[in-house]
Homo-oligomer: A and B are copies of this chain.
Amino acid sequence: MNQETEKTLAFFGRMTANLTHEFKNILAIIQESAGLMEDIMAISPLAKDKYQERFNNSMNTIKNQLQRGMEMASRFNRFAHAPDHNSAELELGETMVHFCTLTERFARLKHITLQADRQNDQEIKITTNPLLLYMVLFYSLDACLSVLPAQCEIRLISVKKDEKTAVEIACAGKQAPSPEQFFTGLRQSNAWGDLENTAEQLNAELKCNTDDLCFYLILK
């Protein structure tokens, strides 16, 4: 297989493996709650009323997880169809909410908060290659996660910069490194090289704000 196929598949494989872990988590929580409900039902009829509240709590947990699972499945289905089109019209803020839902676990494992935002609540429509856009967001996230310590936060913000459409990747946190350490770390990470190559394929420009823990993917 050629290098492009390997890189793209490695990305897709990591996203998919991540999804299977999220599903296992969802099912495990449902399993725990269902087990508790079963225990309650196994007690005498009088005890059932006593534990009504715990029973209801378990049922609510199950319902919440079912909803979370359904949403995750729908979003991942949409992601799985990203390679179908070389070009599609997207609303950038919504795409980033979508991306953050799918990848939030990567940040969670490092105790880092991941969040999507829109500058001034402004909707920005762009026509782009959806898969390459997901890939640049993924490599940006991966690079940041490799240099930030726990308790930091990463925000992906859809912005207008110099009259162009861009994604701002802004990091913060009490224990965060200095901008100099941050950018040195990013450039040394494996993900950064992939980010540069993929940004080039997408005709996107990578611009670092070296005064702050912030860089931009300028899309057009």
Q: Is the CB of A20 within 8 A of B70?
A: no
Q: How far is the CA of A85 from the CA of B187 in the complex (A)?
A: 27
Count of chain A residues with a beta carbon within 8 Å of a chain B beta carbon: 50
Q: How far is the CA of A66 from the CA of B21 in the complex (A)?
A: 14
A101 interface residue per 8 A CB criterion: no
Binding site for B on A (CB under 8 A): 1-2, 4-6, 8-10, 12-14, 16-17, 19-21, 23-24, 27, 30-31, 34, 37-38, 41, 45-46, 48-49, 52, 55-56, 59, 62-63, 66, 69-70, 73-74, 76-77, 79-84, 86, 131
Number of copies of this chain that the complex holds? 2
Q: Is the CB of B4 within 8 A of A74?
A: no
Q: Is the CB of A24 within 8 A of B63?
A: no
Return chain B residues, CB-CB under 8 Å to A14: 80
Contacts A34-B63, A55-B41, A59-B38 given; indicate if A9 touches B131 (C-beta within 8 A). yes
Given A8-B8, A30-B62, 19 more contacts at CB 8 Å?
A1-B8, A2-B4, A5-B8, A16-B19, A17-B81, A20-B73, A20-B74, A20-B77, A21-B77, A23-B23, A24-B73, A24-B74, A27-B70, A31-B63, A34-B59, A34-B62, A34-B63, A38-B59, A41-B56
Q: Is the CB of A81 within 8 A of B45?
A: no
